[in-house]
Each structure stands twice: as C-alpha cells, then as structure tokens.
Structure 1
C-alpha cells in the first residue's frame, strides 16, 4: 500500500512538473547580469532579451548584481527557484575563473544547469591617449620602462579583463598593477579620463571609444582580424605572437530546472541568434557567433569543464589575491 501511495505521489509530481513546463513562461523572466549596466555583458544580455521576448511572449527583465568579480550575481542565480524564471548570464571569468579564486559557497558546474553558449568576444589591448606608443611594440617598451608597475583596469578578480591581464603578464614578463572596478564600463570611463594606463578589454566594450578617438588600440587577441575592426592588427601581426584569448559567454539556470524549460529557453536564444537584425548588432560589436552544433546545453557544459581544466592552473599559479 505504501509503495502504491509513493508511486502515485511520484507520478503526480512528474505530471505537475510537465504541466508547469508546458505553461512556461506565465510571468516575467529575469536575466541576472553579474556586472554593471553599460558594459559588454549587459549589452549582450539586453540585445538577447529584447529578441527572446518575441519567442517566449513574455517580458524579460535585466537585473545587474555586481561585486566580487561577478560571483555575487552567479550566487543569486544558484539560490533562485529552479523554475526557469531566473537566468544567469556568465562568461569565462564568472563561470570558470572565479572557482579558482573565490570561496564561492557553490559549485560552478554542479549547482547550475547550462542553457546555451553565446557569441564570443576577442580581447583588445587599449591604452589612454596620453601613452606615447603608437604600436604594440612601442607600448610594450613603454610599459617596461615605467619606474612603477603600470595600472591596468579590470572588472574585479577573476573577471575576463583580469584573466587577460594575468595572461599578458605571463607572456610579456611585464608586471601590472591591477585596479578593480565593478565592471569594465566604469574601468573604461577611467581609461578615457586618463586615470589608468591600459585595459586588456573585450572588443565590444572598447571599440566605440577606439572609433571615437578617446583611447588608443594596439591589437586584438585573435589569430585573424575582426571584420568590424579590420584596421586593428592581430597580436601575431603586431609583435606578440600566440597571445590569443577569446571571452566566451553563456546562459545558465539553477540546478534541477526542468529539462523542458531549459529546452524552451535554449530554443528562444537560438531563434534570437538566427535573427539577421540580432546578428548584425552582435557583429557590429565585434562578437563572433558560435557554431550551430555548439548551441546545445550539453555543448556548453562540456566547454565549461574544458575551460576550467585549461585556466585554473594558470590562475592558481599566479596566486591571485582578492582586491
């Protein structure tokens, strides 16, 4: 009798979960962006949200939860109800590097369900206009000649700009003084104002200021030029061969979110990525679209684990300390 009751309860729960997934969404969805408004993560999320609303037929709100290199925002998603109404935007910094730096109180792999890989962003080496260098080789010489370590803006320990800065130190042997911000948008503001020397920044964040002439660009960290910024050489061309880094992004939901709901969210993102207007906006930002066969939740999960294996040793060897 007891087994029959338990079986009936299990069937009821499964049936209720399926009905919930069928009715999803029935009220507004929130995408948690773990960095400040106006930055590249925020911009990508808002472009996606605007288009996903048409597929899901429900409002999608953006919530900026800043601090601790994005780990506070990710934690907000981990603790949310697993019902599909809270989605986390993350990237190489928040969903890989932070696990090697912070005592998170959650597991980046097991406490989240992957939804989809998003467009990636090559980095770009930029400086304040007061730096006299006009080429990457001249910039490296100028940085090496400083009596004190030059200042490099980051979005906090473990952010993409911080990892890129550590990688830059490793490749060039130049020691940097990292200056943390709550996102690369405020870091870029200070670079324009001449308060810091350089940022190894996301291309999408810096390209508008480069075009406006308020900061100086030296190279993109890719093995080929970016179509939307074809006048900027690659690091290979500019004299720093092999310095390649792409900041990829993705969406996650809390663990135990029903698979049917994950599938609906995944499909809504794919619809958005296939929209020519959305693709044009991303391409104008210098973003690179992921291959179609890498747009499954499973592909994002596999990629995240591979990136953890790649980057954690370097980050831990650098003995990163929280600013």
Structure 2
C-alpha cells in the first residue's frame, strides 16, 4: 500500500475513533443526565417539615436553617409547619400517623423521640412509629438566670436557693424536656427546694425569664444565642462534656461542682415508619449535603452544635443507645409530667 493510501486509512481510522468516542461520551452524559433527572424527581410537590414546638425555639430555628437547602436538593417546596403542644407529642404523633410517602417529615428531638415515652401514656411509640432519617444538630444546655438574680456562678446560685427554700423556681421548654430534666437533676444533686414551671416551648419560657417572672432556666445555646450576645441574661454554666465552642469562658456543670452532669439536646429528621427505603435514603443524602454547605455549617457551629452528619444506620444506632440513657435520667431525677 502506498504512503498516500496509508495516510488516508489512518485518517479514516482516526475519524472513526473520534466518532466512537463521541458516541460513548454522549451515552455517558445522557446517563448522567438521566440519573440527575431521576434524582430530581422527588414524588412530592410540597414536603411538610413539622416542628412539634412553637416558633422561636431551637427545633423551629433548626428546621428553618435546613428547609431551604432541602427544598433546593429535592427540587420541591419544603415548608416548616409548627404543630406545638403536649411537650412535642402532638406534632410527633401527627407525623407518625401521616401517609408514608416522603411528603411529611418531622424535625424531632430527644424529648419527643426517647424521653416522653418514659413520662406519658402515649397513643403511639415514636421509636416504632417513626423512621430515623438523619441527625441535624446536638447542642448543650446553658444554666442561666435573670440579671436581677444575685448569683454570678452556679455554686453561688446553689447557696442562694438553699438560703430560701421554696422561694425560687425554674422555667423549662416543657415537662419532660431535657431543660426540665436538667433542673430536676440539679435539684437532686444539691438537695434543692425549687419549683418547676413548664412552658409550651423555649421561646415563652425565655420571655418570662427575661421579664423577671421566673428567675432561673436551662436552655440550649441555640435558642439563647441572641440574648447571650446582648447581655440580657447571665449564663452560669453549660451542660456538655466539654466547654461549648461558642462559650469557651463558661464552665461546664461538672467544672462547677456537679460531677457527671452531662446533658445535650439532639435534633433530627424522621418520617413515618413505612416510608420506602429509597425515599429515606434520598432524604438522608440531601440532609447531609445541606449540613455540609459552608453557610449552614457555620450557622450550626455558631449555635453551638457539633458535626452530626451521617448515615441512616448511624442515626438508628445512636437512638438505640439513647433509649436506656434517658430512661435512667428520668428515673434518677424522679421527674414527672406537671
């Protein structure tokens, strides 16, 4: 074969190769596009993310932080629906009884999922009625007081309460909440005579402490962030195992003379138990993507949360470990529903 014909043959082979590569690339891109389209086709025009507490509390704040990102990732509208009442039981049961189609989810917390079952005669057990999707946040509580309370530290507050038995009361976001149990453990550890005053959520409890109606309370770093910055309240200690990143100068309860006093509020997304696994996994993937967004991660860190993203299986395992822990806290504190 002449060199001229060889050159033509090589050129033809190259053109064929280019065509084949183009075809393969086109098929690959089509596959990616089809996969992306399938991922975008979430089966709900609107997803209702239920917060089982009134607006303004930590659960509501977290729901509104993650809702926009979930809406973008799922390709549908995600609305936050506040269904407060009965220490979170009303909203929690509403979601558990909803159609398991991925269109109704709960931004729940340890109160509604693992604590209330030890305090209430529930119509439905949230552990069996709800499927975990993924954790959103975990934050310590802050022991804080109205500025008129003449105590600058937790030990001084204990002395003050002991000096006037029955005079002081503490507010909580509701009976059975970690805020309530923290107060009961404080009473138990130091043999304090102090009245519990439950509210329907963190926001109304905080309002009355700010107004001087109730002198003492425990609340999450999340809900207290604006007031802590403004100096309208006095923080005395936090309940985490280590000092809060957002409050590094504030001692933990353990450092303030309460050995073993560690309580955190955790929050996560749940759906009705029979929701198809594919939808649960899709929600988990989108939730983790939202939590990794720089703006969201920064907001959560500012509110005192550590990184809690992970798989569905990890969240399920975490909840199984939480069940005996909170059962023990309820029994040890002697807490009851007021």
- Normalising by structure 1, we get a TM-score of 0.88
2:169 matches 1:151: yes
- 1:144-183 equivalent positions in 2, closer than 5 A: 144-183=162-201
The whole-number CA distance in structure 1 between the counterparts of 2:161 and 2:94 is: 39
2:212 matches 1:194: yes
Cα distance per residue 1:180-223 (max 9 Å; x no partner): 11101110010000110211111111132122111110011123
Q: 1:252 aligns with which of 230, 249, 270?
A: 270
Q: Which moved more, 1:161-170 or 1:278-287?
A: 161-170
Greater radius of gyration (CA): 2
Give the structure 2 partner of residue 99 of structure 1: 117
Q: 1:111 aligns with which of 107, 129, 132?
A: 129
Where 2:128 maps in the other structure, the secondary structure is: coil
Give the structure 2 partner of residue 262 of structure 1: 280
Moved over 4 A (4+): none
Where 1:234 maps in the other structure, the secondary structure is: coil
Give the structure 2 partner of residue 312 of structure 1: 327
2:227 matches 1:209: yes
Where 1:315 maps in the other structure, the secondary structure is: helix
- 1:1-323 equivalent positions in 2, closer than 5 A: 23-290=41-308, 292=309, 295-316=310-331, 318-323=333-338
Is 1:21–1:260's contact at 8 Å kept on the other side of the alignment? no
Where 1:199 maps in the other structure, the secondary structure is: strand
The whole-number CA distance in structure 2 between the counterparts of 1:168 and 1:262 is: 39
- Normalising by structure 2, we get a TM-score of 0.85
Instruction: Identify unmatched segments of 5+ residues in structure 1.
Output: 1-19
Q: Which moved more, 1:138-147 or 1:127-136?
A: 138-147
Q: How many residues align?
A: 301
Cα distance per residue 1:37-73 (max 9 Å; x no partner): 0111100110011111111111111111111110111
1:23 deviates by 3.7
Where 1:300 maps in the other structure, the secondary structure is: helix
Is 1:36–1:42's contact at 8 Å kept on the other side of the alignment? yes
1:238 deviates by 2.8
The whole-number CA distance in structure 1 between the counterparts of 2:141 and 2:94 is: 27
Is 2:147–2:233's contact at 8 Å kept on the other side of the alignment? yes
Q: Which moved more, 1:165-174 or 1:198-207?
A: 165-174
Is 1:273–1:279's contact at 8 Å kept on the other side of the alignment? yes
1:319 deviates by 4.6
Q: Which moved more, 1:87-96 or 1:297-306?
A: 297-306
